[in-house]
Structure 1
Amino acid sequence: GLVVFEERTGAERLVWYDRNGRELGEVDAPTVVHNPTLSPDGSYLVGMSDDPEQGGVWLLDLDRGTANRFVSDGTMPLPSPDGTQVAYASRRRDGRMDLYVRPRLGDATAEEALLQSDRPKFINDWSRDDLYITYGTTSAETGEDLWLLPRFGDAQPMPYLTSEANEMQGRISPDGRWMAYASDESGRWEVYVQAFPGTGRRQVVSAGRGGAQPQWRQDGRELFYLSADHTLMAVPVTGGDDLGIGRPVPLFRFELSGSIKDYRQHYAASQDGQRFLVDAVEAPGLTNMTVVVNWQSLLAP
């Protein structure tokens, strides 16, 4: 008898694409970096690595082409609205996922604990006006929920969406008046936009066709998300008291290194929404083939 084994693999890369899906270039990093998040001015990005030797939070300077490991035991990094600080999560306290922040430049000892509690915490967004950090957490009663960490007053965390459905990936609009998020309340993951900081009227963005991972363009006039089949979608938005949501337009599809319902994001939009830095996986290619002839003889005692 004859048995043939095929081994397939796909390389993970950080790749720039235009709106038509044309590859523009690649961001070099010393290790595989996930969760790419651009600074507000686009000069650097932060990401995370699961590499056993080089894991943690990485900061990549896009202007200078340099990279450094920012925090060795951190994950889910997020730049501050002015780009001078980086927030991140870490399990350093007895395995509990807590939130920390430290200056992007300067002494690492300037780190500050933002929130420590028994619940897991996954950073989603930092509002443009520096009033709120949004994060996801979980509970046995309500599953995945969205919470707010105020940056004013007593800075006590407060629930935002804690329904029986799962809600995650909360992103605050640039004008601070709306929250985009993903929920499975319909039976599949969809993208919604809801009033903020209250929980008033809302709209479905993904048109009932599935989606997650929403991100706002920096001027708030467009909202991006990933559809169920991993197509990057663009939705025109008109702001104001009555938010206008247009028809989703497909841009391009790419292979993910995970799922659209991950806490980590798989793409980052440039300031003008014309380029996208994607945490992509190349289509698997045949890398090795093994042929075993007369395999039954290998079973003989």
Structure 2
Amino acid sequence: MSANRITTNEGAERHMIWSPDGSRIAYSIQNEGGVSNLYIRASDGSGGDQPLIESEGMHKWYPSWSPDASTVVFHTNNQDTQARDLWYVSVASGETAVLVDDDGIQALARMSRDGRFVAYQSDQDNQMEIYVTTFPRSDARWKVSTNGGTWPKWSDDELFYWEGNSLMAAEFTTDGGFSPGTPRRLFTGEQVGMGADNMMTSYNPEYDVSADGTRFVVTQRLER
């Protein structure tokens, strides 16, 4: 297996994510002033970086595509106020809007596979927990985790997240709103080679899940 480089920017490039059809990649680039903005590029490397949202004074991180690739949800960090909120942007027009601006940190948003909901982590209850809200914006909030949670990921009928060093799964239904089930533990990071101290508290993704929720990709820690 070989790797092909598709970008040549000098700034740090992070948080890349495939579009649903695999034709494009959204990602952040840190500019010379230290601010991270969002861009889109063809996944075969053709063309240049297409600005999705560029501005000074606010980082834009961790994009997540809607199922029809018309919208990208992301989280922000305002350099003046340190507010960390969830926003979304139209891919066609570049128009932006706020999705969640509750107290505390809102981060790592992931849109559901039907495009109706967004899962994210927030410390509004004094520790990071997993919440779900509707898309577009509403006041509805559903708490999914029960003892801390980071890094939500969707399958078609389950929501996955990390509770400390354990990967958790919560089934859900969407009839009449969002209704999460009781989370259950699937495995620990130590069991799959991620290390005994894997806590998934940083902003560096170390796992992903297939659409049907039956397969996982993890980053293993190897001794050399």
**Where on the TM-score scale, by shorter chain, does this alignment land: which range?**
0.7 to 0.9
Q: In structure 1, what is the equivalent of residue 158 of structure 2?
A: 222
1:209-267 deviation line (CA, Å, top 9, x unaligned)? 001100100x2x1100000x221111111123322211101011114697534333221
Q: In structure 2, what is the equivalent of residue 96 of structure 1?
A: 35
Secondary structure of residue in 2 paired with 1:237: strand
Structure having greater relative contact order (Cα 8 Å, sep ≥ 6): 1
For 1:1-150, what aligned pairs fall within 5 Å after superposition? 65-73=1-9, 74-107=13-46, 109-118=47-56, 119-139=58-78, 140-141=80-81, 143-150=83-90
Of 156, 168, 185, 1:250 maps to: 185
Q: Gaps (5+ residues) in structure 2? A: none
1:280 aligns with 2:215: no
> Residue 122 of structure 2 contacts residue 129 of structure 2 at CA under 8 Å; is this kept in 1?
yes
Q: Residue 259 and residue 251 in structure 1: after superposition, are their counterparts in 2 closer, same or farther (change >3 A)?
A: closer
- Is 86-95 or 178-187 further displaced after alignment? 86-95
1:38-81 deviation line (CA, Å, top 9, x unaligned)? xxxxxxxxxxxxxxxxxxxxxxxxxxx33222324421111112
Secondary structure of residue in 1 paired with 2:6: strand
The amino acid across from 1:213 in the alignment is W
> Residue 26 of structure 2 contacts residue 63 of structure 2 at CA under 8 Å; is this kept in 1?
no
Q: In structure 2, what is the equivalent of residue 260 of structure 1?
A: 200
Q: Residue 262 and residue 149 in structure 1: after superposition, are their counterparts in 2 closer, same or farther (change >3 A)?
A: farther
CA RMSD of aligned residues (A): 2.1
Give the deviation of 1:121 after TM superposition. 1.0
Q: In structure 1, what is the equivalent of residue 139 of structure 2?
A: 200
Q: Distance in 1 between matches of 2:114 and 2:69?
A: 12
Secondary structure of residue in 2 paired with 1:121: strand
Secondary structure of residue in 2 paired with 1:86: strand
Give the deviation of 1:129 after TM superposition. 1.9
- Is 68-77 or 177-186 further displaced after alignment? 68-77
Between the aligned residues of both structures, percent identity stands at 31
Q: Distance in 1 between matches of 2:201 and 2:110?
A: 14
TM-score by length of 1: 0.65
Q: In structure 2, what is the equivalent of residue 188 of structure 1?
A: 127
Q: In structure 2, what is the equivalent of residue 239 of structure 1?
A: 174
Q: Gaps (5+ residues) in structure 1? A: 1-64, 288-301
> Residue 194 of structure 1 contacts residue 201 of structure 1 at CA under 8 Å; is this kept in 2?
yes
Q: Distance in 2 between matches of 1:200 and 1:280?
A: 39
* Greater strand content: 1
Q: Distance in 2 between matches of 1:280 and 1:232?
A: 14
How many positions carry a matched residue from both structures?
214
Q: Distance in 1 between matches of 2:198 and 2:96?
A: 29
> Residue 142 of structure 1 contacts residue 162 of structure 1 at CA under 8 Å; is this kept in 2?
no
The amino acid across from 1:223 in the alignment is L
Between Structure 1 and Structure 2, whose CA radius of gyration is higher? 1
TM-score by length of 2: 0.86
The amino acid across from 1:249 in the alignment is R
